[in-house]
Chain A
Amino acid sequence: GESVGLHLPTLSVQEGDNSIINCAYSNSASDYFIWYKQESGKGPQFIIDIRSNMDKRQGQRVTVLLNKTVKHLSLQIAATQPGDSAVYFCASKRGSARQLTFGSGTQLTVLP
């Protein structure tokens, strides 16, 4: 079955540094990927998505990289701010299915 996993459960970065959060997926048929941010007591908040026909997509201070060869994606956050502290999930789906498969989450802590 499809699974999505994260390399590290926690990540601490200094304020102002760049953060990189990684995610591996197992199903090569996955064709759509999303990064979500979850703050304490809140639901997942959409950050950025990428389709499998792309290898890079940029948003405001965030970049997602997709490497289909090794089934890996990453979320890069530039100039990390205290408000970026949260749990970050990758999620994937495949084909016409609408259900998302989530990874286990990485806790990002921004140090002053």
Chain B
Amino acid sequence: EPEVTQTPSHQVTQMGQEVILRCVPISNHLYFYWYRQILGQKVEFLVSFYNNEISEKSEIFDDQFSVERPDGSNFTLKIRSTKLEDSAMYFCASGANAGSYNEQFFGPGTRLTVL
């Protein structure tokens, strides 16, 4: 069964450093998402991406964040200058449907630790 994959599984970085989190969505999917989950808290929406552009973003997704689909298979989340509060589990998701009722398939996550 096809699945979303994410690398690395765990990323440790120093405050102020740039990180890139990588995702390979399911191959025939057209919609891509990033969510994050701070330890012990809810899963929070960051951004959705369709047709090579951001379609929705939350207040969390400020100028320090960017997304890119550099080729036909990868989807990346970049944090330019990490802060301690960026420490969280970051989940990539993808979906196929163009309609409003869209099932989103999640990857296993990347645990980001900012020191």
Contact = CB atoms under 8 A, between A and B. Distances in A.
A99 B42 CA distance: 14
B104 A42 contact: no
A44 B35 CA distance: 11
Nearest to A89: B43
A36 B107 CA distance: 13
Interface residues of B, number: 27
Given A43-B4, A44-B91, A105-B42, A96 B108 contact: no
B4 A32 contact: no
B31 interface: yes
Summarize B's interface: helix, strand, loop or mixed.
Answer: strand
A43 to B, nearest CB: 4
Contacts of B44: 102
Given A43-B4, A43-B91, A44-B91, A102 B105 contact: no
Contacts of B48: 98-99
A20 B41 CA distance: 22
A95 interface: yes
Nearest to B105: A46
Given A43-B108, A105-B42, A99 B103 contact: no
Contact of B103 (A42, A46, A105): A46
Interface string A68-93: 00000000000000000000010101
Nearest to B104: A100
Interface of B: 4, 31, 33, 35, 41-45, 48, 50, 55-56, 58, 91, 93, 95, 100-109
